[in-house]
Chain A
Amino acid sequence: MRCAIIGSGNIGTDLMVKMLRSDVLDLVALVGIDPDSDGLARARKNGIQAPHTGPDWVLENASDIDMIFDATSAYVHVRHYKQYAAAGITAIDLTPAARGPKVIPPVNLYEHLDAPNVNLVTCGGQATTPMVYAIRRVIDELPYAEMISTVASKSAGPGTRQNIDEFTKTTSTALREIGGATKSKAIMVLNPAEPPIMMRNTVFAGIPEGADHAAILNSIHEMAGEVSKYVPGYRLKNEPVIEEGPFHTPGGVVPHRAVVLLEVEGAGDYLPEYAGNLDIMTAAAMRVGEAIAISRASREATA
């Protein structure tokens, strides 16, 4: 499948490094707006086209492109997503624009393989929604779930900083829509420590009376294994625990809460290992892109 990445910043460049290793996705171009950007220079060095005319280049060359990965910003995506669809290009959206259905690979990867546009939520959403889902699938009801994502200051670009409300709102929505929580909250913290800290995510989930605690803990471990298949640096930093309350959550009083402490070490493809927040996004994008490509190829083969 012929692919273009739009956006030559940290995410786009990291995604390029991953895509160059893929047997399924064929990278045609890394598209930027600044001819002097480090990302475009790296693309040229790897023999990949590196135009700097942004989304326009993609639309002009639409007949040579099947799928784009949008690593620009929410507002650029909103401006162009209809044009990509009209040109017959499938869009995998790495911004928090949230125009297409949200995809968290270990939860709903196969539900939206035919959608013209899928959204990857946020880095924190990719890290924590699977755990909320893992808890929800072994209990009858999950009245309230909460996530706290702490990333190194160095790995949070200007887009994230100016739109921190979009990050928390989109993430919180994913905890409900895909994770299955009735109510939710998302919190984001930046930590400037040197050397930079690894991306940390914590999930708190309100556990109602009568829940099978052993099943919850097993499900969490299983899910950690699922995610680490495509994000090798994803791990439980400590054993998950179930703490005794009671806790007066917005979803009602619960006797216990589950605490899942996660760490995401980046693969170091472009930014160093601390930037697990970038890595989990680009790894999710690869997982989704490859699944779409394989599904379409097998359909064409049988047609």
Chain B
Amino acid sequence: MTTPDFRLIDSTLRDGSHAISHQYNPEEVIAIVKGLDHAGVQVIEIAHGDGLGGSSFNYGFSKVDEKELIAQACAATTNAKIACLLLPGIGLADDLRDVKELGVGMARIATHCTEADISEQHIKTSKSLGMETIGFMMMAHMNSPEGLVEEALKMQSYGADAIYFADSAGAMTTEDVRRRVNALVNALDVPVGVHAHNNLSMAVANSIAAYEEGATNLDGTSAGLGAGAGNCPTEILAAVSDKYGITTGVNVLALMDVAEEIVRPLMPRQQVIDRAGLILGYAGVYGSFLLHSQRAAERYNVSQAEILLELGRRKVVGGQEDMIIDVALDLAKKHAEAEKK
């Protein structure tokens, strides 16, 4: 078998968890892991959508304890490495120790794209446990290429084996991606990866552009299942890569089967770019705010679009889901006052 040109990391069981409000059960996890593993995917990421320890009022409670699901995933895989994501401030170093025990081989330590120094404790813990460790910078559209390099160098100095940036709001154009990947590839000693979202319908194109600029790790999720308008769909990325003559090492048809027969049937809604999804990308708002803002809009009888635009104006970052309620209450108050006049 030829060596793949990039490593594909599938996050259906982590980022995809947002789109089903963290309701995965063990049977679904086992079926998805077996399908992806069979298709030749090298790394499968699993955790609450907001990373280890994310189960909460603020981000939504997991139906089944993520550690039970992680144990199932580790038991179900043959070749694929199982990965977890952790956001310092939400998950703990103790969580890394727990998942290492369960058989997890990779930890991705994620921070907002200007706050890399809060990852030191967790990157070092993960490394000392012997896990492959990736530094993961979120909401990368909110930092310049030079700024990202500065943050990435910190993560590299803590011992990260690779550095990712995530277009968590699906807000980047292809040019935005190229400039950032190029700057990182030139400045870092370790491999670079990109995690794309599809709010502006750019996820696959942006992933291919990232590859062309030297990124050697790319993320996808089956059927694009994920926060906001969804992720870069793994099976489409693989198909497009084939067309470009980029070797993926995965079986495209087997990936299509996973998407069609396992993932689509469990989706509460198809992953489309509707108004709210597009606004996230257009206003640069964290993708996982989508369903939370929809619920708040219904609860307080205000416009979801208005909530999202206001969150964009306030420059909230990933993790500040509580501000959705704050904005919804502000809007409801404003409407009530307008009616009195």
Contacts and interface: CB of A to CB of B under 8 A. Distances in A.
Contact of B326 (A158, A206, A261): A261
B58 A168 contact: no
A190 B58 contact: no
Given A165-B92, A185-B56, A200 B323 contact: yes
B61 A189 contact: no
B121 interface: yes
29 contacts: A146-B58, A148-B322, A150-B322, A161-B117, A161-B120, A163-B121, A185-B53, A185-B56, A187-B56, A187-B58, A187-B90, A190-B118, A191-B320, A192-B112, A192-B114, A200-B322, A200-B326, A202-B325, A204-B57, A204-B322, A238-B325, A238-B326, A238-B329, A239-B329, A248-B63, A249-B57, A250-B55, A250-B61, A259-B325
A238 B89 contact: no
Given A189-B89, A261-B322, A261-B326, A161 B58 contact: no
Contact of A248 (B61, B93, B120): B61
Given A187-B58, A243-B299, A249-B61, A237 B93 contact: no
Interface of B: 53, 55-58, 61, 63, 88-90, 92-94, 112, 114-115, 117-118, 120-121, 142, 299, 314-317, 319-320, 322-323, 325-326, 329-330, 333
A247 B325 CA distance: 16
Contact of B89 (A187, A202, A204): A187
Contacts of A204: 56-58, 322
A257 B61 CA distance: 13
Contacts of B114: 153, 192
A226 B53 CA distance: 33
Interface in A119-177: 146, 148, 150, 153, 158, 161-165, 168-169
A193 B314 contact: yes
Nearest to B88: A164
B57 A257 contact: yes
A122 to B, nearest CB: 12
Given A164-B121, A187-B58, A193-B315, A150 B320 contact: yes
Nearest to B117: A161
Contacts of A187: 56, 58, 89-90, 319
Given A261-B322, A261-B325, A164 B58 contact: no
A164 B326 contact: no
A271 interface: no
B319 A165 contact: no
B137 to A, nearest CB: 12
Given A163-B121, A261-B322, 16 more contacts: A146-B56, A148-B320, A162-B120, A164-B121, A165-B92, A187-B89, A189-B320, A190-B89, A191-B317, A192-B112, A200-B322, A200-B326, A204-B56, A237-B326, A241-B325, A250-B55
Nearest to B143: A192
A200 B121 CA distance: 24
A188 interface: yes
Nearest to B63: A248
A133 to B, nearest CB: 18
Contacts of A150: 319-320, 322-323
B56 A191 contact: no
Nearest to A240: B329
A74 to B, nearest CB: 13
Interface of A: 146, 148, 150, 153, 158, 161-165, 168-169, 185, 187-193, 197, 200, 202, 204, 206, 237-239, 241, 243, 247-250, 257, 259, 261
A19 B89 CA distance: 32
Contacts of B93: 165
Contacts of B329: 238-239, 241, 261
B319 A189 contact: yes
Contacts of B322: 148, 150, 200, 202, 204, 259, 261
Nearest to A166: B121
Nearest to B322: A202
Contact of B88 (A165, A238, A239): A165
Contact of A168 (B61, B89, B323, B330): B89
Nearest to A149: B89
Contacts of A164: 88-89, 118, 121
Nearest to A172: B92
A106 B117 CA distance: 34
Contacts of B56: 146, 185, 187, 204
Interface centre among B89, B112, B142 (most CB of A within 10 A): B89
A169 B56 CA distance: 15
Contacts of B88: 164-165
Contacts of A185: 53, 56
B88 to A, nearest CB: 5
- The 10 A-B pairs with the shortest beta carbon distances in the complex, nearest first, are A204-B57, A202-B322, A193-B315, A189-B319, A188-B89, A238-B329, A192-B114, A248-B61, A161-B117, A161-B118
A263 to B, nearest CB: 9
Contact of A165 (B55, B121, B317, B320): B121
Contacts of B299: 243
Contacts of A169: 92
Contacts of A163: 121
Contacts of B325: 202, 238, 241, 259, 261
A164 B288 CA distance: 23
A150 B323 CA distance: 10
A288 B326 CA distance: 32
A189 B88 CA distance: 9
Contacts of B319: 148, 150, 187, 189
A239 B94 CA distance: 36
Contacts of A192: 112, 114-115, 142, 317
A241 B94 CA distance: 34
